[in-house]
Amino acid sequence: MRVGPDGLPKPRAAEKVERPDELTVNITLRKGMKWSDGQPVTIDDAVFSLTAPGIGDKSPMYKPFVANIASVMATGADTLTIKLKKPDAAFLVSSLAKLNLAPKHEWEPIFKKLEGTPQTAESIALEHPVSSGPFRIVRAELNREIVLEANPDHWTHPKVKRWIMRIMPNVEASRGALKNGEINFLSDYTGDPQLLTDLAKSDPKIAVSEALDLGFKFIAYNLCRPPFNSTPFRQAIAAVIDRKLLAEDAWGGAAEPSNSWISPALDFWHAKGIVDQVPGGNLASAQKILGAQKILKDVGFVLVGGKLHYPAGVKETTDAFH
């Protein structure tokens, strides 16, 4: 599976995915797929890809994605059935959209050689990796560049014939390469965004494209430690936090205020206007302070001499706040 633009899982290497009950996932493999070495992608490859990560500790990156799989069994030439240990509504995204198909004929011997050694499969760097995607790997040099060429046999028919991805840790060098036409586009830029914006303004051939990411930064409270185990106290703090100011000041405008675990980038899932529905939001500073003081006063907190005191009878201990 792959996650589509709407945030929902879509079949990819799988032609069809069905869930007849809460513990069963039936998969029909897409017909006609080939590995870059010319061999066909088989149902045995799919079974291997779903089971190998869970054997021992040789694939720590992928092992969590198969932790809830009880069994995988081929049921036909291009079909298999997955049995789960427990119901998992997110399995299509949290597992099937995270795992990659791996050629059994190449990786099974590698896993066998790793048995009894401290080495994991993630430390293996193949000179010519075998893949089944829309691009074939021509060359992969660690921390330098990856060269891909279009796979003419792939059903998605890539429009780009050749793709060279260069790794440039030096942000100044990356901006210079973009300006000089050495590279066509710049991704995963970690430098000052204003410098990139200024570069685009100075050169009509360069444009900046911005989009929301699925990641997020947040402040978490230690709910086991007073006074943060008090819901009203946390609400009072929320009332004085200016999320929009943080986005503009701390992140240079390159952030979207949120008050939810769901990224605003996911329109299908994210509740629009949620930032304005909670304390804080667009309220003026004086209103925020008065709102926070009222929340604290209603539950017995007292402000004396500029210091906040617990409600009567409550002391700061490691016990839960009552």
> How is the chain split into domains, by residue range?
2-110, 135-202, 231-309
For position 59, what pLDDT does the model report?
92
Query: Structure pTM?
Result: 0.69
Q: Is 183 exposed, middle or buried (0-12, 13-18, 19+ CB in 10 A)?
A: middle
Residues 4 and 266: their CA atoms lie apart, in Å, by 11
Terminal Cα distance for the chain, rounded: 47
- Whole-number Å distance between alpha carbons of 316 and 318: 7
Query: Phi, psi (5° rounding) for residue 293?
Result: -65, -40
Q: What is the CATH number of domain 2-110?
A: 3.90.76.10
**Cβ-contact 274, 268 below 8 angstroms:** no
pLDDT of the chain along its 322 residues, tens only?
Answer: 998 877 789 999 999 999 999 999 999 999 999 999 999 999 999 999 999 998 888 999 999 999 999 999 999 999 999 999 999 999 999 999 999 999 999 999 999 999 999 999 988 888 788 999 999 988 888 788 999 999 988 888 888 999 999 999 899 999 999 999 999 999 888 888 889 889 999 999 999 988 777 777 777 888 888 888 888 888 888 777 777 788 888 877 778 877 777 777 777 777 777 666 655 544 555 566 777 888 888 888 888 888 888 888 887 766 554 4
pLDDT at 102: 94
Give the closest residue to 239 by CA, choosing from 193, 295, 191: 295
- pLDDT confidence of residue 321: 47
Question: Among 255, 235, 257, which Cα is nearest to 244's?
Answer: 257
Q: Are strands 69-74 and 14-21 parallel, antiparallel or unpaired?
A: unpaired
At the topology level of CATH, where does 135-202 sit? D-Maltodextrin-Binding Protein; domain 2 (3.40.190)
Q: How far apart are CA 298 and CA 308, in angstroms?
A: 14
Closest CA to 162 of 172, 152, 153: 152
